[in-house]
Amino acid sequence: MNLVQEFILTGYLKDPMPVGSGPIGTRMYFEVKEGGRIEGERINATILGGGEWALMGPDGFIRVDVRLQAETDDGAFLYVQYVGLLEMNEPVQNALGNRVGTTFEETYFYTNPRIETGDERYAWLNTTFFIGQGHVLPDLGVEYRVWRPA
């Protein structure tokens, strides 16, 4: 399979609000801050806000569940949703606890973003499958390299 890098998504989270432990793990809610970016050759947008409903399972993985709104630099509105897996290994625990970053290589962090829009200029987003690899940035940030199958 050939993959083409489509964009980089960078976002920042506010401090978590614990929901608590339930039958399938511990849930936390993070508000997604305004101002993150989606940047690529065919799309450039600013994140307007959103939320992450992270679920920490007993297996040491966080089930990522993010929804956010973005506006392209030329005025189109986007709904972005992605789920994924983040392994809470030692580098990730250190990064989150001390608000420092990780590298892509030391992080098992994968997502599959889905983007919807009613703007015809970006209709291709509605029918494109994306695969993302992430890592932690300082101060509760994340960065994803996002590809599409060619």
By C-alpha distance, which of 29, 75, 73, 68 is closest to 48?
A: 68
Q: What is the CATH number of domain 3-149?
A: 2.40.160.20
Confidence at residue 14, expressed as pLDDT on a 0 to 100 scale: 97
pTM of the complete model: 0.94
Confidence at residue 115, expressed as pLDDT on a 0 to 100 scale: 99
Phi then psi for residue 122, to 5 deg, are: -120, 25
Confidence at residue 137, expressed as pLDDT on a 0 to 100 scale: 98
**Burial grade of 56 (CB within 10 A; 0-12, 13-18, 19 or more):** middle
Return the H-helix or E-strand segment holding 5: strand 3-12
CA distance 144 to 107: 12
**pLDDT tens figures, 105-149:** 999 999 999 999 999 999 999 999 999 999 999 999 999 999 999
Confidence at residue 64, expressed as pLDDT on a 0 to 100 scale: 98
**Burial grade of 88 (CB within 10 A; 0-12, 13-18, 19 or more):** middle
pLDDT grade for 13, boundaries at 50, 70 and 90 = very high
**pLDDT tens figures, 41-72:** 999 999 999 999 999 999 999 999 999 999 99
Contact at 8 Å (CB) between 54 and 62? yes
